[in-house]
């Protein structure tokens, strides 16, 4: 293992060990008795005096976050392969996997519900308090939830009952089996993310989705059902992308039968069928394979929505099928989901009882949720105005407003679903529900974060980073012990909890902005004119610089290579493809390396030298041309809609054929590197002397109604 990666691995491992050593003890409640002390890791904590355990817990989470961000930076710069990423995350998971339940006691509620079903009690109408007094399953449950009905779906309850039966009623055995199921769920999420992500983005997506500290500690460590739910969602999307649409819809229905928010993913798939606008084929499907063939694909339009991101061209528009066909397909999808849901409901006696008890989590407000913060702000305003107020009424009002806003946002996402991949739409919808729901728990955030991490570009990347930075510190138990010796300060913090939460959210946002600005500052420093690469002063055979090719969704600009070094993209000249895309238009970013020697002053014509295609994000070596007067130029160009757009977002010459990009250069010998690429063999170029001007034309293959409109060749001018 390389020293840099070894340092990241060690940092994350230390953080994981600190969280495991403290998270279980701090999560233990005074009136809850776990079945074992787990080697002292679940020993009770004295609440009479200040304790350093919360500080160690916070430090462990901070260390893990730092290691996670550093691992993402390595993955983003292609210094961390997917295999190395898997090994890194597996190392961080070792102490969490073998440690006790941490940060939450929900797993004991799962075991209690399994015992209730096994003893003919209905968890949808009877609370765990109905279990025999003194049984380990009831004494280990958090007292806050002993009188609450089960809010989980019928498939989840069926799993709880099966675990209880398999372990012979042993609570310790149930915890171990549920931990193993959670671990399997996380592994399936990793496999699904690797299957859905672009090949050059797999390491990034893996680190963001699975190495996320919320996934590590709140799903695997706390043993929450979100691991199983999100595994079914991700694998369901993989099945749909590979043409097994019915299987994918059944898996999505199964996810909703674990926890109902997963129904938004199934709704997103159905909404795609009803989209009246031309579908944005962000990643057109590759050539048919054994896993995805036209004959095996139930609905081609849906396959386009989840097409393999590794395909070379991106952003082509496909015409939506006729309305009757879209309605027929959508109705078939709804029928599959409903039939699957009915089958899962039959697994327990009262299969639809979760509809009555789904609001159970809302009975205990969370002070750090946006709804509680809004209620706190409204209360302060009314206090300043001298108006009477009731906290419960304000909280109900804020929750109603948030749910209304949530509904509007989700409807908007579904209406505009044709402009983004289905996974993105489902991720944004589920994250919106988590943030604007009546209550917020950190494990709710993974509903959207895992799906958004599949395509970690632009807005998705920033949201995943910022939300994780803030969400990792939510719901930490007994942090008040840090202020146990300062009662006045403790009272202020408890009465102003929303203010503390807002401060944390602002801090997380500031850190993300600083992270982004630092990256931009580094690019500006390197982009200074004449900046040469240390150790490479220039020369006929020197390697000037490794050039990182742009990728779909990245900020695109131009890079220049002079005879003494390369200047990399200036972030002040950015063109962001996603933000610049007109509604309903298709876009294309080509990434291909072509290096060609044009005639020199002596009239000696050099043959074109093509160094070959490069994948998105792959680093390519640019070698000096060998003459003092040579100037090596690198540009990134893209197309938006029907108009060719140059490196700085300016339209090409109006006389040019739409879909083609022409670049003119003054007379003079020069080497030219054009990052314009795409699939190997799809881009053709020609250079010639036309009235003392060297003109290099790069053809861009266009498609009309999904069929090639030409061979991409441009005749000499």
Considering the domain boundaries, does residue 109 fall inside one?
yes
pLDDT exceeds cutoff 60 at 265:
yes
Considering the domain boundaries, does residue 624 fall inside one?
yes
Question: Where among 447, 481, 515 does a domain terminate?
Answer: 515
Contact indicator for 196, 234 with CB cutoff of 8 Å = yes
Confidence of residue 223 (pLDDT cuts 50, 70, 90): very high
Contact indicator for 598, 672 with CB cutoff of 8 Å = yes
Considering the domain boundaries, does residue 244 fall inside one?
yes
Average pLDDT, the chain: 71
Tens digit of each residue's pLDDT (9 = 90 or more) over 385-423: 877 777 778 888 999 999 999 999 999 999 888 888 899
Whether residue 97 is found in the same domain as residue 204 = yes
Considering the domain boundaries, does residue 275 fall inside one?
yes
Tens digit of each residue's pLDDT (9 = 90 or more) over 286-335: 333 322 322 333 333 344 445 433 333 333 344 556 778 888 888 999 99
Whether residue 542 is found in the same domain as residue 503 = no
In whole angstroms, give the CA distance from residue 491 to residue 497. Answer: 10
* pLDDT value at residue 518: 65
> 3-class SS at 584?
coil
* pLDDT value at residue 262: 95
Measured distance between the N- and C-terminal CA atoms of the chain, rounded to whole angstroms: 54
* pLDDT value at residue 1: 56
Confidence of residue 31 (pLDDT cuts 50, 70, 90): confident
Higher-pLDDT residue of 378, 492? 378
For the chain, the residue count is 717
Contact indicator for 227, 189 with CB cutoff of 8 Å = yes
In whole angstroms, give the CA distance from residue 154 to residue 493. Answer: 40
Considering the domain boundaries, does residue 64 fall inside one?
yes
| Strand-pair partners of 560 | 567, 633
* pLDDT value at residue 559: 31
Higher-pLDDT residue of 73, 630? 73
* pLDDT value at residue 306: 54
Instruction: Specify the DSSP element, H or E, that contains 543.
Output: strand 543-548
Whether residue 154 is found in the same domain as residue 11 = yes
Identify which of 179-183, 607-611, 649-653 has the greatest average pLDDT.
179-183
* pLDDT value at residue 3: 65
Tens digit of each residue's pLDDT (9 = 90 or more) over 621-652: 333 233 333 333 333 333 333 333 333 233 33
Contact indicator for 598, 694 with CB cutoff of 8 Å = yes
C-beta atoms surrounding 83 within 10 Å: 11
152-156, 228-232, 322-326, 421-425: range with lowest mean pLDDT: 322-326
Whether residue 315 is found in the same domain as residue 257 = yes
How far from 142 is each of 77, 139, 166, 262, CA to CA, in Å? 45, 8, 24, 26
Mean pLDDT score, 48-75: 91
Whether residue 444 is found in the same domain as residue 368 = yes
Considering the domain boundaries, does residue 593 fall inside one?
yes
Whether residue 466 is found in the same domain as residue 347 = yes
Q: What backbone phi and psi angles, to 5 degrees, belong to 638?
A: -145, 170
Structure tokens at 38: 């787990």
* pLDDT value at residue 321: 64
Tens digit of each residue's pLDDT (9 = 90 or more) over 424-462: 999 999 999 999 999 999 999 999 999 999 988 778 888
C-beta atoms surrounding 114 within 10 Å: 27
Q: Which long-range contacts (CB under 8 A, 24 or more apart) does 503-509 make?
A: 504/368, 504/470, 504/473, 505/470, 507/470, 508/466, 508/467, 508/469, 508/470, 509/466, 509/470
Please state whether beta strands 661-666 and 693-698 pair in parallel, antiparallel, or not at all (unpaired): antiparallel
Higher-pLDDT residue of 547, 220? 220
How far from 150 is each of 114, 123, 340, 360, 654, CA to CA, in Å? 11, 5, 21, 7, 65
Tens digit of each residue's pLDDT (9 = 90 or more) over 568-593: 333 222 223 223 333 333 333 333 33
* pLDDT value at residue 459: 84
In whole angstroms, give the CA distance from residue 617 to residue 460. Answer: 18
Whether residue 418 is found in the same domain as residue 492 = yes
In whole angstroms, give the CA distance from residue 589 to residue 475. Answer: 42
Mean pLDDT score, 64-85: 91
In 228-343, beta strands by DSSP E: 279-281, 316-318
* pLDDT value at residue 176: 96
Angle at 94 between CA 89 and CA 96, to 5 degrees: 100
Question: Where among 454, 483, 515 does a domain terminate?
Answer: 515
Structure tokens at 247: 């299987």
pLDDT exceeds cutoff 50 at 534:
no
Percent of the chain at pLDDT exceeding 90: 40
* Number of domains comprising the chain: 2
Structural domain boundaries enclosing 479: 3-515
Q: Identify the residue whose tokens are 């849906």.
A: 302
pLDDT exceeds cutoff 70 at 144:
yes
Higher-pLDDT residue of 509, 449? 449
pLDDT exceeds cutoff 90 at 124:
yes
* pLDDT value at residue 277: 54
Question: Cβ neighbours of residue 657 under 8 Å, at least 6 residues apart?
Answer: none
Whether residue 120 is found in the same domain as residue 257 = yes
Contact indicator for 615, 591 with CB cutoff of 8 Å = yes
Higher-pLDDT residue of 612, 179? 179
Global pTM reads 0.70
pLDDT exceeds cutoff 80 at 688:
no
483 closest CA partner among 492, 495, 475, 471: 492
In whole angstroms, give the CA distance from residue 509 to residue 524. Answer: 22
* pLDDT value at residue 320: 52
Considering the domain boundaries, does residue 524 fall inside one?
no
Structure tokens at 616: 């998105």
Q: What backbone phi and psi angles, to 5 degrees, belong to 523?
A: -65, -40
Whether residue 82 is found in the same domain as residue 202 = yes
Considering the domain boundaries, does residue 715 fall inside one?
no
Whether residue 415 is found in the same domain as residue 324 = yes
Please state whether beta strands 632-636 and 671-675 pair in parallel, antiparallel, or not at all (unpaired): parallel
Whether residue 103 is found in the same domain as residue 33 = yes
Report, in angstroms and rounded to the nearest whole number, the Rg of the chain calculated over CA atoms: 28
Mean pLDDT score, 547-558: 33
Whether residue 465 is found in the same domain as residue 601 = no
Question: Where among 483, 515, 547 does a domain terminate?
Answer: 515
């Amino acid at each position: 293992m390389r020293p840099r990666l070894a340092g990241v691995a060690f940092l994350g491992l230390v953080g994981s060990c600190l969280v495991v050593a403290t998270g279980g003890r701090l999560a233990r409640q005074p009136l809850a008795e776990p079945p074992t002390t787990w080697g002292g890791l679940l020993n009770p904590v004295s609440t009479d005096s200040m304790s350093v355990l919360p500080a160690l817990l916070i430090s462990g989470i901070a260390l893990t976050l730092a290691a996670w961000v550093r691992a993402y930076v390595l993955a983003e710069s292609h210094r961390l392969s997917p295999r190395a990423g898997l090994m890194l995350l597996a190392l961080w998971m070792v102490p969490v996997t073998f440690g006790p339940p941490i940060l939450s006691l929900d797993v004991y509620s799962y075991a209690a519900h399994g015992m209730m079903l096994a003893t003919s009690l209905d968890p949808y109408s009877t609370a765990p308090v109905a279990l025999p007094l003194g049984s380990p399953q009831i004494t280990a449950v958090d007292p806050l939830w002993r009188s609450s009905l089960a809010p989980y779906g019928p498939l989840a309850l069926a799993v709880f009952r099966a675990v209880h039966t398999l372990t012979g009623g042993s609570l310790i055995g149930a915890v171990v089996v549920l931990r193993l199921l959670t671990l399997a769920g996380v592994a399936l999420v990793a496999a699904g993310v690797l299957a859905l992500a672009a090949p050059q983005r797999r390491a990034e997506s893996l680190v963001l989705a699975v190495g996320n500290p919320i996934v590590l500690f709140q799903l695997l460590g706390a043993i929450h059902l979100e691991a199983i739910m999100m595994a079914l969602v991700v694998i369901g999307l993989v099945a749909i992308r590979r043409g097994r649409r019915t299987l994918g819809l059944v898996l999505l229905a199964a996810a909703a039968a674990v926890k109902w928010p997963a129904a938004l993913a199934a709704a997103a798939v159905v909404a795609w069928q009803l989209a009246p606008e031309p579908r944005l084929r962000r990643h057109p499907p590759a050539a048919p394979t054994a896993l995805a063939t036209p004959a095996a694909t139930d609905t081609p339009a849906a396959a386009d929505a989840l097409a393999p991101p590794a395909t070379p061209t991106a952003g082509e528009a496909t015409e939506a099928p006729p309305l009757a066909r879209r309605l027929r397909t959508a109705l078939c999808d709804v029928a599959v989901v409903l039939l699957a849901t009915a089958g899962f409901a039959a697994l327990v006696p009262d299969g639809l009882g979760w509809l009555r008890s789904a609001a159970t989590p809302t009975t205990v407000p969370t002070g750090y949720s946006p709804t509680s913060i809004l209620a706190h702000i409204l209360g302060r305003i009314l206090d300043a105005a001298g108006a009477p107020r009731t906290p419960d009424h304000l909280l109900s009002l804020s929750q109603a407003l948030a749910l209304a806003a949530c509904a509007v946002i989700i409807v908007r996402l579904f209406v505009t679903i044709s402009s983004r991949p289905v996974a993105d739409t489902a991720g944004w919808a589920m994250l919106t529900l988590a943030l604007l729901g009546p209550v917020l728990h950190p494990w709710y955030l993974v509903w959207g974060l895992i799906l958004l991490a599949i395509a970690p570009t632009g807005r998705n990347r920033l949201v995943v980073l910022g939300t994780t930075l803030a969400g990792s510190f939510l719901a930490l138990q007994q942090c008040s012990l840090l202020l146990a010796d300062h009662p006045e300060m403790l009272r202020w913090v408890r009465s102003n909890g929303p203010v503390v939460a807002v401060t944390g959210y602002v801090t997380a946002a500031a850190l993300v902005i600083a992270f982004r600005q630092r990256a931009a500052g580094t690019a500006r420093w390197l982009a200074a004119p004449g900046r040469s690469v240390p150790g490479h002063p220039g020369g006929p055979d020197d390697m000037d610089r490794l050039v990182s090719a742009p990728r779909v969704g990245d900020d695109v600009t131009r890079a220049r290579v002079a005879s003494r070094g390369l200047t990399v993209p200036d972030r002040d000249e950015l063109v962001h493809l996603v933000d610049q895309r007109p509604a309903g238009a298709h876009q294309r970013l080509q990434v291909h390396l072509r290096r060609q020697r044009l005639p020199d002053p002596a009239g000696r014509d050099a043959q074109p030298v093509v160094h070959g295609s490069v994948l998105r994000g792959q680093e390519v070596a640019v070698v000096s041309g060998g003459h003092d007067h040579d100037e090596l130029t690198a540009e990134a160009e893209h197309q938006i809609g029907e108009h060719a757009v140059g490196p700085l977002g300016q339209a090409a010459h109006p006389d040019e054929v739409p879909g083609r990009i022409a670049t003119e250069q003054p007379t003079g010998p020069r080497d030219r590197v054009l990052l314009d690429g795409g699939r190997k063999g799809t881009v053709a170029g020609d250079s010639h002397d036309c009235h003392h001007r060297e003109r290099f034309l790069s053809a861009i293959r266009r498609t009309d109604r999904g069929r090639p409109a030409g061979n991409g060749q441009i005749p000499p001018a």
